[in-house]
Amino acid sequence: MTEAHRLAELEARVDRLERSIKAAVAAREPDGGADLDPDVFWALLGLESRVQEPGAVMIVGSAAAPSGVRARWQLSAGSDELLDEDWSMPATRLAALGHPVRLRIAQQVLRGVDTVRGLTAVEGMGTSGQVYHHVRELTAAGWLRNRGSHLEVPAEVMIPLLSAVLGARR
């Protein structure tokens, strides 16, 4: 790759990043970001074109983990439906993710570490007894599945798991 080509790619990336930042700031404005950049907010604009007020929430993703797990997933619900339902139901599943070691376990399993022995070898993960305890919590909540002596993040929860982590970064 030539230096000029690398520079052009870098300039294009900076331009996209700057547009994304401007669009994110505009979206927080009192008018609701009426002039959202469709190159940045294509998913949001698509959702808004398909739902009625008071709106909806959507989780969508397509990802392949280094472990080989591939997921394509989409779920949406009306905001009024979400506000009206009992939030104690997802509490157990969310609580299972509320420990840093459990999040690291899920991350490592997605990366391909699929045994308790392998997880125990990861720096700072704890003893095998501690890892088994956390694995049981994640398995009971549905974030992990035990296939004999091998662990996996089921494809059907991979995108919700990654979305929970992404949402918590905000």
Separation between Cα atoms, residue 15 and residue 125, nearest integer Å = 40
Mean pLDDT is lowest, of 45-49, 59-63, 66-70, for 66-70
Instruction: Please give the DSSP secondary-structure letter assigned to residue 68.
Output: S
Confidence of residue 21 (pLDDT cuts 50, 70, 90): low
pLDDT digits (tens, 9 = 90+) for 103-118: 999 999 999 999 999 9
CATH number of the 91-168 domain:
1.10.10.10
Interval 142-166 mean pLDDT: 95
Angle of helix 100-111 versus helix 155-168 axis, rounded to 10? 130
Q: DSSP alpha helices (H): ranges in 51-154?
A: 79-84, 91-96, 100-111, 116-120, 128-140
Per-residue pLDDT at 33: 55
| pLDDT score for 26 | 58
Where along the chain do its domains lie? 1-36, 91-168
For residue 112, the 8-state DSSP code is T
**Main-chain phi, psi angles of 132, to 5 degrees:** -60, -40
Compute the mean pLDDT over every residue in the chain, rounded to the nearest whole number.
88
C-alpha distances out from residue 36 to 1, 19, 21, 159, Å: 34, 10, 11, 25
